[in-house]
């Protein structure tokens, strides 16, 4: 089950006019319907977030608006293990002054964030500008990511509908998503074809997938890899 966002009783801080402070390029990015855009302080307080990022970040069945997130401290709003990992990422960017590309699975979708330092009088302790995208497929094998770009793979995730699957089933679904046959998967995992087929049928029932194409679609939406089977579920 996906984690509920925890309630926070502190009064939200004023939403500064980041579009005016950072200029027309920021305005253009923040209005892009395909991009999540946010500004987060070094202490993980949301200083700005657009509606697209709010939709990506919050549960489908309990969405929060962008205005309700501004001024909120994510350390109190989100699961502690997730918040601790994000604090480390944000502080690393602020201290090194170098951007990072982060990847996680969030509510069943692969979420990729470009985290870039910004200097602002509104955040004297430092802040980061985060551009978020939902990207399908295996991120590690993408050719459009420059070699010099540092990528951090989150060790915590929310799997959405995939949370119904066992770790072994996640591995098999990841391999199906890569286009492997039942025979190839059986050989790769050192299991019988009958065992793999049994798992495939179980995956289909749990995800209500009618055919192999729908299984592949689930795997691609999550950017699922074998490594994800051993990561912490929230």
Q: What pLDDT is attached to residue 35?
A: 96
User: Which has the higher per-residue pLDDT, 208 or 18?
Assistant: 208
Confidence class for position 144, pLDDT limits 50, 70, 90 = confident
Q: pLDDT for 19-73, tens place per residue?
A: 666 778 888 888 999 999 999 998 899 999 999 999 998 887 888 899 999 999 9
What integer best gives the mean pLDDT of the chain?
88
Of 130, 117, 116, 147, the residue nearest 52 (C-alpha): 130
* Alpha carbon of residue 154 to chain centroid: 8
Q: What is the C-alpha separation between 189 and 21, in angstroms, rounded? A: 53
Residue 10 confidence (pLDDT) = 38
CA dist 145 and 83 (Å) reads 26
> Beta strands 232-233 and 151-153: pairing type?
unpaired
Confidence of residue 139 (pLDDT cuts 50, 70, 90): confident
Kindly report, residue by residue over 84-133, the tens digit of the pLDDT.
999 999 999 999 999 999 999 999 999 999 999 987 776 777 899 999 99
Q: What is the DSSP string of 184-223?
A: HHHHHHT--HHHHHHHHHHHHHHHT--SHHHHHHHHHHHT
Q: Predicted confidence band at 145 (pLDDT cuts at 50, 70, 90)? A: confident
Helix (H, G, I), strand (E, B) or coil at 84: helix
- Walk me through the domains of the chain, giving residue ranges and CATH numbers: 18-157 (3.30.450.20), 161-233 (1.10.10.10)
């Amino acid at each position: 089950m996906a984690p509920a966002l925890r309630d926070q009783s502190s009064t939200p801080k004023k939403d500064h006019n980041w579009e005016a402070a950072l200029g027309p390029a920021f305005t253009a990015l923040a209005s892009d319907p395909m991009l999540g855009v946010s500004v987060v302080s070094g202490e993980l307080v949301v200083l700005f977030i657009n509606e697209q990022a709010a939709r990506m970040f919050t549960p489908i069945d309990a969405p929060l608006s962008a205005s309700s997130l501004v001024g909120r401290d994510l350390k109190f709003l989100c699961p502690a293990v997730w918040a601790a990992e994000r604090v480390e990422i944000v502080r690393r960017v602020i201290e090194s002054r170098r951007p990072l590309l982060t990847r996680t699975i969030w509510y069943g979708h692969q979420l990729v964030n470009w985290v870039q330092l910004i200097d602002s009088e509104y955040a004297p302790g430092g802040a980061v500008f985060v551009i978020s995208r939902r990207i399908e497929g295996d991120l590690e094998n993408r050719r459009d990511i420059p070699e010099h770009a540092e990528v951090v793979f989150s060790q915590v995730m929310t799997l959405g509908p995939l949370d119904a699957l066992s770790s072994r089933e996640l591995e098999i679904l990841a391999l199906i998503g890569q286009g492997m046959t039942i025979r190839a998967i059986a050989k790769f995992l050192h299991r019988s074809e009958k065992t793999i087929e049994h798992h495939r049928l179980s995956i289909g029932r749990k995800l209500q997938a009618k055919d192999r194409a729908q299984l592949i679609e689930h795997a691609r939406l999550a950017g699922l890899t074998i490594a994800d089977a051993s990561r912490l579920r929230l």
